[in-house]
């Protein structure tokens, strides 16, 4: 057989194996998009015909990557409260946050997606799909599309293991080791810690299963036409998922028992190649041979919303440091008198954390940021505000390369003590490098195993 015939046959085989995939990841948070976008693009790169429902436009996608871009609306706009000062949400108890923000926001959010003209137009077409991949976060009505297209449902989550994930794929739920992702208890294995975990998990389970999912179901019925009356419930569809991709990894997360239909893909987004770095920032990093402290509270929690006394506490400490400080700050701030502080509204975080001169990351413990610190081996001080941030930071503290600083404890003395300890006690950097090696080696092994399979 000549080369050309061979190529044609190979192309033919590749074409036959390419699947029609519906990829549903409309949650409006940037950090979710950072995690989900590479998955969709990679599927397209491997030849699949990918149709993605998203709140973020992807510039210049491949030809076989079809976008359904919905107007990006934040949950608080849909709830009608407007954006809070995110530092204030620290006051919410876990069950209050689940109800007041996730559920009260999730329902209008799901309506917003399904009633959008883009999704309605898409639904009116005669599409067929071999596979539906859906995010699990407050948009469960979307699972109905797997039923509509008679395709297997794959669930994917920007979070790690949790109660609902276990139920989805029939994984034995062990509340002794599965900590609710939004709980913040100082010692999860203490009696009080376990009691709180049990309380929040039960609260969520009952309201989620018997109220919230039913509300989601009526949204599905209202906006997806021609569904049969005898359709399985959303709870059943959720339980019927074929595969679950979760954002955790055994090399750094708490140990847990997982069935083979749960695959850990944590750390997947931590690739510096995904970003480009402005020349001036690169120059600053290269020239900061004494080291760099990078401070960024994430895409949602804004440094500019810090009260003035906390802002000044940071500035006074930075002023006394002899290393460069890169601070993501969303407003104008006068740092002219402090030449070692460089302020920008945005930084290519992965590029910065991967740079050899980085010494310390001051963050909020968001899952994406924490995993990036792990993969690149950077010690971390975190100020947890809401959601899973406390838990993520607890892992870094237990592993010996992280420190939790409570929001209410932010003052000049505490910030300086924490920063100096992390910078000048070499054990934190050593631990960070150790866990980074462990993570990157085992992720490489996962990758090679996948290729063989």
Ligand X SMILES: *[C@@H]1O[C@H](CO)[C@@H](O)[C@H](O)[C@H]1NC(C)=O
Q: Which residues bind ligand X (CB under 6 A)?
A: 20, 49, 51, 66, 111, 115, 117, 127, 290, 322, 424-425, 427
Token pair in block for residue 278: 């402005």
Least distance CB 17 / ligand X (angstroms): 13
Least distance CB 218 / ligand X (angstroms): 11
Ramachandran area for residue 370 (φ above 0: left; ψ -120 to 50: alpha; else beta): alpha
Least distance CB 366 / ligand X (angstroms): 24
The residue among 150 and 427 lying less far from ligand X, judged by its C-beta, is 427
The residue among 122 and 407 lying less far from ligand X, judged by its C-beta, is 122
Task: Give the closest residue to 158 by CA, choosing from 25, 303, 312.
Answer: 25
The residue among 20 and 414 lying less far from ligand X, judged by its C-beta, is 20
The residue among 426 and 450 lying less far from ligand X, judged by its C-beta, is 426
Least distance CB 103 / ligand X (angstroms): 18
Residue that is written with structure tokens 């609902």 in the block: 164
The residue among 127 and 442 lying less far from ligand X, judged by its C-beta, is 127
What's the distance, CA 324 to chain centroid?
28
Least distance CB 42 / ligand X (angstroms): 17
| 90-98 contacts, C-beta under 8 A, 24 or more apart | 90/385, 90/386, 90/407, 92/386, 94/180, 94/182, 94/183, 94/184, 94/200, 95/199, 95/200, 95/203, 95/204, 97/182, 97/386, 97/387, 98/182, 98/200, 98/203, 98/204, 98/207
Least distance CB 108 / ligand X (angstroms): 9
Residue 166 half-sphere exposure, CB side, CA atoms within 13 Å? 18
Token pair in block for residue 131: 């596979």
Distance CA 55, CA 68 (A): 8
Least distance CB 195 / ligand X (angstroms): 29
Least distance CB 20 / ligand X (angstroms): 5
Please state the length of the chain: 453
**238 within 8 A of 163, measured Cβ to Cβ:** no
Ramachandran area for residue 252 (φ above 0: left; ψ -120 to 50: alpha; else beta): alpha
**18 within 8 A of 39, measured Cβ to Cβ:** no
Q: DSSP label at 208?
A: I
The residue among 5 and 117 lying less far from ligand X, judged by its C-beta, is 117
The residue among 1 and 16 lying less far from ligand X, judged by its C-beta, is 16
The residue among 240 and 412 lying less far from ligand X, judged by its C-beta, is 412
The residue among 51 and 389 lying less far from ligand X, judged by its C-beta, is 51
Residue 327 half-sphere exposure, CB side, CA atoms within 13 Å? 24
The residue among 36 and 386 lying less far from ligand X, judged by its C-beta, is 36
Q: What is the DSSP string of 264-306?
A: E-TTTT--GGG----HHHHHHHHH-TT-EEEE--TTTS-GGGS
Least distance CB 217 / ligand X (angstroms): 15
Least distance CB 271 / ligand X (angstroms): 27
**Which residues share a beta bridge with 245?**
156, 263
């Amino acid at each position: 057989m000549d080369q050309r015939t061979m190529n044609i046959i190979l192309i033919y085989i590749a074409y036959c194996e390419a699947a029609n995939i519906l990829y549903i990841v409309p949650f409006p948070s940037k950090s979710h998009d950072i995690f989900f976008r590479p998955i969709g693009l990679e599927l397209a790169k491997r030849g699949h015909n990918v149709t993605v429902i998203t709140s973020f436009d992807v510039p210049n996608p491949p030809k076989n990557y079809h976008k359904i871009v919905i107007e990006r609306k934040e949950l608080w706009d849909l709830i009608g409260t407007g954006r809070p000062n995110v530092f204030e949400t620290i006051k919410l108890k876990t069950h209050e946050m689940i109800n007041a923000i996730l559920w009260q926001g999730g329902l209008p959010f799901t309506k917003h997606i399904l009633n959008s003209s883009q999704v309605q137009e898409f639904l009116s077409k005669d599409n067929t799909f071999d596979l539906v991949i859906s995010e699990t976060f407050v948009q469960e009505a979307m699972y109905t599309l797997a039923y509509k297209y008679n395709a297997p449902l794959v669930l994917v989550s920007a979070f790690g293991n949790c109660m609902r994930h276990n139920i989805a794929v029939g994984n034995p739920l062990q509340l002794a080791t599965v900590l609710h992702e939004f709980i913040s208890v100082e010692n999860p294995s203490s009696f009080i810690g376990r009691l709180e975990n049990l309380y929040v998990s039960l609260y969520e389970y009952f309201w989620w299963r018997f109220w919230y999912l039913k509300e989601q179901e009526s949204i599905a019925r209202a906006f997806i036409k021609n569904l049969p009356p005898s359709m399985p419930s959303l709870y059943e569809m959720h339980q019927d998922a074929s595969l679950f991709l979760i954002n955790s990894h055994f090399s750094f997360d708490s140990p847990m028992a997982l069935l083979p239909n749960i695959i850990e893909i944590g750390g997947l987004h931590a690739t510096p190649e995904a970003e480009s770095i402005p020349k001036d920032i690169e120059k600053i990093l290269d020239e900061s041979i004494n080291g760099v402290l990078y401070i960024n509270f994430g895409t949602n929690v804004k440094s500019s919303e810090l009260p003035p006394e906390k802002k000044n506490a940071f500035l006074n400490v930075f002023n006394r440091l002899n290393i460069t400080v890169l601070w993501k700050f969303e407003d104008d701030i006068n740092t002219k008198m402090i030449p070692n502080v460089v302020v920008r509204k945005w930084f290519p975080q992965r590029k910065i954390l991967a740079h050899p001169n980085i010494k310390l990351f001051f963050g909020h413990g968001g899952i994406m940021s924490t995993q990036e610190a792990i993969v690149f081996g950077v010690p971390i001080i975190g100020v947890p505000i809401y959601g899973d941030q406390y838990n993520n930071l607890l892992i870094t503290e237990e592993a010996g390369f992280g420190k939790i600083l409570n929001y209410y404890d932010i003052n000049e003395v505490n910030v300086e003590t924490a920063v100096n300890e992390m910078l000048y006690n070499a054990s934190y950097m050593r631990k960070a490098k150790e866990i980074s090696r462990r993570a990157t080696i085992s992720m490489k092994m996962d990758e090679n195993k996948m290729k063989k399979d």
